[in-house]
Amino acid sequence: MIRHIVLFRVYDHISEADVDAAIASLRALEALPSVLSWRVERSSDMRKGRVIVEDASFASEADFAEFRRDPSHVAAGEMMAGLSDWLNGDYEAGSEMPN
């Protein structure tokens, strides 16, 4: 299983209405057929500003690649590029960490 976690740091000048619309758009990606699980929430920790958390999983690397190519995901990435900067982490769940 592939885990995909994104932290979107929303720019300070972005309105709350635009943040709400972005969250709704991101949540709509849950309907894509390659998505195994999907959650989008606001971070409760405001020390670094407004952060949107996206936490997803995919059954396989192929499913994740399909998701990344999907036009809905591409459009969401373009939308978020105008609203935020982000960090993402993708990893194979269940893999052992080296000592």
| pLDDT at res. 97 | 56
- Please give the distance of CA 75 from its chain centroid, rounded to a whole number: 13
Q: Domains in the chain, please, with CATH?
A: 2-89 (3.30.70.100)
pLDDT tens digits for range 16-75 = 999 999 999 999 999 999 999 999 999 999 999 999 999 999 999 999 999 999 999 999
Q: Can you state the angle between helices 71-83 and 16-28, rounded to 10 degrees?
A: 160
Q: How confident is the model at residue 96 (pLDDT cuts 50, 70, 90)?
A: low
pTM of the prediction? 0.90
- Which two structure tokens, joined as six digits, stand for 74? 């591409």
